[in-house]
Structure 1
Amino acid sequence: MYCTETEVIIIGGGPVGLIIALELDRQGINCLLVNNQLQTAVHPKANAINSRSMEHFRRHGIASKIRSSGLPSDYPTDVTYVTRLTGYELARLSMPSSSEAVKQAKHSNSIYDCSEPPHRCSQIYLEKILYDEVLNRKRIDVRFGHEFEEFNEINGGVTAKIRDLSANTKYNVSAKYLIGADGGRSKVRRQLGIEYEGEGGVLRRMMGGAMQATFFYAERNDQWLKLKESWQYWIITSDLRALLMSVDGRNKFVLLTRIPDSNKANTIDDKDLISRAAGVPVKSKILLRQQWTAGHALIATSYGSNKVWLAGDSAHLFTPTGGLGMNTGIDDGVNLAWKLAAVINGWGGPNLLQSYEKDRRPIGIRNLSFATEFAESIGSFGVSSKIEEDSEAGKVERDKLGYHLINHGQREFLIPGIVLGARYDNSSIIWQDKSLPVPDEPYSYISTARPGSRAPHVWLKDGSAICDHFGTGFTLLKFNSVKSIDRLFFAANKSGVPIKLFDCNENNLKSHYGADLTLVGPDGHVVWRGNKIPNECNSLIDRIRGV
């Protein structure tokens, strides 16, 4: 066996592992990315990138590239509920196309008060963009087709045993830290002896129990899909629950269906399922099928310790309602990466890494609760056998169900508070002020610079967003002529803490932040604010660096 060395080993090359690698590279940290697959995702999987994730991608200069993938810029992102694809429309939640969403954001006319509105892009496209980006970063050693076997914590670090699958040879890699971003069946989590807690595989009529995802090609035409273009079509009848999603806005789709009898899963006729959802025969080409289990609301009892940490699905498993699984994992990765980098670079204190779980696990629990609520709402109601009847009784049933569905759709898909309102109120590395926390309201986002919150978005006169000026370390936002800020920089420099000054005197900026000075962390969350530098300057610096 041959041995190599790096600073951080990342196990798992999905979106979470890839963003961690990019974040570490941005912080000047060398890392090794190990993935047991030879290529990025070939099945659509996740298909909703929320605003917070897009903000993270913006920081790496790839948000526009991602926005040019997935659904075309002029394609509606509506969610439509139907009896069949050729049947009755029960309800429709209209949402803007990507280009319209960007225009709304630019004019501050969006429910998502941010620089990057959400985007509908399949994981097959997202992973490829992230993968190409990590290949261009000099500090990232990418090894797809290599399988992690086990790790050992020795000599103040960690050594991983890895198998090169093509050569069938093993080798060791030594590092300072190891991250398990290797999914729900995480080998890293299992070796740590950490279990999930919560509910798994809860049975529902939809989004609960055994599920199948069929990725297929079909020429779009009015014979089987005469409805107005939508991102999602939910098929709801008394004998079938399914979800059809447009992957490319043209001829590629994925159909999610509940498998009533998991023992007969291998006998399912995919083409017949597609035709049943349409209500007419559909000429289709099956590209790939994948069976999985929905109904999870699971979270790891610990997010790791010492030299080994968990992020993404290895730390929590979601049912996909609300699109919170991958996006929560991306936020995990950003939080963990800067803290690892701080410790490796010598300025992070002994409590900094412990703050990762204190910050992120409550958010995992919060988001799991929301996702479960959405799954119950869409998956647990019954449907009358009259729903497809061309009769007054059928119309009554359709109107009644449509009312429920439009209310559900608004709750599942219009969730700016969940997406942008995650905050670290009880974090050990923020310097809290005396202001009261704003309500954690899932369906509306209340912008606040209270420490622990995401720094409020503001467009500047030059067309940039204020977040475009945040540095790789901490950023001190200065909105007025405040004197004696040098003391903060002196204290930071003494401890090696990187702080950048952004001096901006544009009108009304202070009103967004509630103070003349605001200190923003590397992940874009506020760690302190005030109208003058506190007398306890050294204590403030020690707090934010985890001492």
Structure 2
Amino acid sequence: MTESRTPVLVVGGGPVGLTLSCLLSDQGVDHVLVESHPGTSRHPKARGVSARSMEIFRRLGLEKEVRAAGLPAEQVRFYRGRDLVDPDYVRSGPAQEPGEGPEHTPSPGLICSQDTLEPILLRRATELAGARVRFAARLVSFEDDGLGVRAVVEDRVTGRPDRIRADWLVGCDGAGSIVRTGAGIAMEGPTGLGRYLSVRFEAPLGEVVADRASASYFLTVPGRGGFMAVDNDRHWIYQYPLGFDAETDPTDDEFLAGLVRTAAGIPDLDVTVHDTMTWRMDAQLAASYRRSRVLLAGDAAHVVPPTGGHGMNTGIGDADNLAWKLAAVTAGHAGEALLDTYEAERRPLARQVVDISTANATTPAGYRIDDELLLTATYRSAAVIPDPADTGEHEVLDPSGYRPGCRPGQRAPHVRLTPGTAGVTSTLDLLGPGFTLLTADEDPRWQAQAEAVRRAGFPLTLRAVRTAGQQEADPGQWARLLGADHANAALLVRPDGHIAWRGTLPADTRTLPALVGTLNCT
């Protein structure tokens, strides 16, 4: 058996693994991705793509394609009623309606189901990494010797085993993660909070819901569950709550069609059942995100109740956080301790997301979808240098709402730019792919600082918010976000868009390279 080598082996080709593959390629990291299934998901499971995930897809050049594949923005509503024809229904929107209040992102979230999203991600991952993205390839076993991982992968078509030597192994292989089990990492938290039957079906419901089109239809009759729109026309998912004491799960198509008709409130509805899936609501978190040369991301690291739509998006955020750190370590720009900041930053965030989503699941009056929750993330780790006055007394996420700012650890804020030449319409478009030194105006004194960082071996780009060709759409917005105490400050922004440092022009050109080295744990 021959052995191939790769810096990173990614196990799992769902939304998280495919996003990680795209981000690694974008960072220039050679890697292999293996997925045991022969193709992408056929079932429209996770559907909500949050603003933060859309910003990541924007960076990858995928935002327009994902948005075109999703539900129209006017249908991102949430219906509550006895059935689909209830004249006394209530229909609400997201926590912040488009155009309501200040603009916090250039890329608002949307509904795009997993079976539609995954092929988009797979096409891009394959464009970038080619045959190193391998579906129908199953991880059989792996050994971690502290210097790397030796994995055995089986081609499920030919049955041929391959041996792969990787510097790092990332498990993106879901709640039943083989990688997590093999690494001996336990999951903590309750299971069995609920058990559900998901029925994918076709029925002519477009005209029925024409005056109440929504993304989700929550039924107020106990035990009825609810509907999820795939296209708000003929294609739907019905979520039916199952008890834990049932001897067998319903499989008869006519019985399932009857459940749909009863829940819809239309006795003669023409229903065609395509397939079903049973799933269990759990609320669990991995005891660790890293063990030696093995790292976890997505559902392998956290199982989030779907009540809130944060599970897949939290996993996509994991990929964004981890990709640049793996890139820095494998390129020799950073020490291996940088990978410890992945757990330090992402595990507390997942803890909060699990708790928020669990609380949503037990709220009788329902809950509102917060598209911007993950924008509020503020990191504390060795990869962030806080302001001297920052006490650190804050949670990772702020469920009370997003308030943009320029404090280290926060996501760099969006400021609309005009005239928006060369595809740049937001400050977020100025960032990456390495570290970005972001100044208010073009200043040649910062150029010497940036060149000193690059001479020290760290990739860095110098960008200004205001230039001869671009200005803020709202004059003075950047200064207001920096705050009066930081009027002349520049931001050092990480490849994942989070602020690593805020400060004024150093007197010594050795200062900034040393600071970047500290952030990279060298």
TM-score (norm 1): 0.86
CA distance in 1, matches of 2:266, 2:102: 38
| Equivalent residue in structure 1 for 2:346, among 324, 342, 360 | 360
Q: Residue 225 of structure 2 aligns to a residue in which SS?
A: strand
Q: Tell me which residue corresponds to 1:248.
A: 231
Residues 84, 466 of structure 1: CA spacing in aligned structure 2 closer, same or farther, 3 A cutoff?
same
Cα distance in structure 2, aligned partners of 1:495 and 1:226: 61
The aligned counterpart of 2:219 is 235
Tell me the residue number matched to 1:92.
Answer: 91
Is it true that 1:124 corresponds to 2:124 in the alignment? no
Gaps of 5+ in 2: none
Say which of 139, 145, 152 aligns to 2:136: 145
Over 3 Å counting, the alpha-carbon distance change for 1:278 and 1:467 in structure 2 is same
Alignment of 1:100-179 (within 5 A): 101=98, 104=99, 109=100, 113-138=104-129, 141-154=132-145, 156-179=147-170
Between Structure 1 and Structure 2, how many residues are aligned? 497
For residues 89-142 of structure 1, the C-alpha deviation after alignment (integer angstroms, 9 at most, x for no partner) is 342203599xx94xx4xxxx5566101001111001100100111111146611
Q: Aligned pair 1:513/2:482, yes or no?
A: yes
Query: Which stretch of the first structure deviates more once superposed, 439-448 or 335-344?
Result: 439-448
Change (3 A) 1:321 1:140: farther
Q: Which residue does the alignment assign to 1:502?
A: 463
Q: Distance in 1 between matches of 2:320 and 2:507?
A: 28
Over 3 Å counting, the alpha-carbon distance change for 1:95 and 1:157 in structure 2 is closer
Tell me the equivalent position of 1:542. Answer: 517
Task: Give 1:430's aligned residue.
Answer: 384
Residue identity in the other structure for 1:493? R
Q: Are residue 414 (structure 1) and residue 401 (structure 2) matched?
A: no
Shift of residue 304 of structure 1? 1.3
Query: CA separation in 2, counterparts of 1:42 and 1:9?
Result: 25
* Alignment counterpart, residue 259 of structure 1, candidates 236, 242, 248: 242
Q: Which amino acid aligns with 1:77?
A: V
Structure-2 change in CA distance of 1:504 and 1:267 (3 Å): closer
Q: Distance in 2 between matches of 1:259 and 1:277?
A: 14
How far apart are residue 227 of structure 1 and its match?
A: 5.2
Q: Say if 1:518 and 1:530, in contact at 8 Å, map to a contact too.
A: yes
Contact 2:427–2:465 (CA<8 Å) still a contact in 1?
A: no
Q: Which residue of 1 aligns with 2:440?
A: 479
CA displacement at 1:471 relative to structure 2 = 1.7
Aligned partner letter, 1:24:
L
Report if aligned partners of 1:150, 1:160 keep a CA contact under 8 Å in 2.
yes
1:373 corresponds to 2:373: no
Does 2:220 align with 1:220? no
The change in CA–CA distance for 1:74 and 1:502 in structure 2 (over 3 A counts) is: closer
**Aligned partner letter, 1:497:** F
Q: TM-score, normalised by structure 2?
A: 0.90
- The alpha carbon displacement at 1:367 in A equals 0.8
Q: Deviations over 1:383-404 (max 9, x none)?
A: xxxxxxxxxxxxxxxxxxxxx3
Q: For 1:341 and 1:139, how far apart are their aligned partners in 2?
A: 19
Do 1:303 and 1:361's aligned partners in 2 also have CA atoms closer than 8 Å? yes
Moved more, 277-286 or 131-140: 131-140
Query: In structure 1, what is the equivalent of residue 335 of structure 2?
Result: 349
- Choose 522-531 or 500-509, whichever is displaced more: 500-509
**CA deviation vs aligned residue, 1:467-524 (integer Å, no higher than 9, x gap):** 1111211000111465643563354234311110002334422322343311100000
Quote the sequence identity (%). Answer: 32
**C-alpha distance in structure 2 between counterparts of 1:140 and 1:334, whole Å:** 22
Unaligned 5+ runs, structure 1: 203-208, 379-403
Name 1:49's counterpart in structure 2. Answer: 49
Alpha-carbon distance between aligned partners in 2 of 1:110 and 1:15, rounded to the nearest angstrom = 31
- Provide the rounded CA distance (Å) in 2 between the counterparts of 1:546 and 1:466: 27
1:415 CA drift (Å): 5.0
Looking at structure 2, the residues matched to 155 and 301 of structure 1 have their Cα atoms a distance apart, in angstroms, of 20
Give the conservation status (yes or no) of the 8 Å contact 2:95–2:371: no
Letter in 1 for 2:75: P
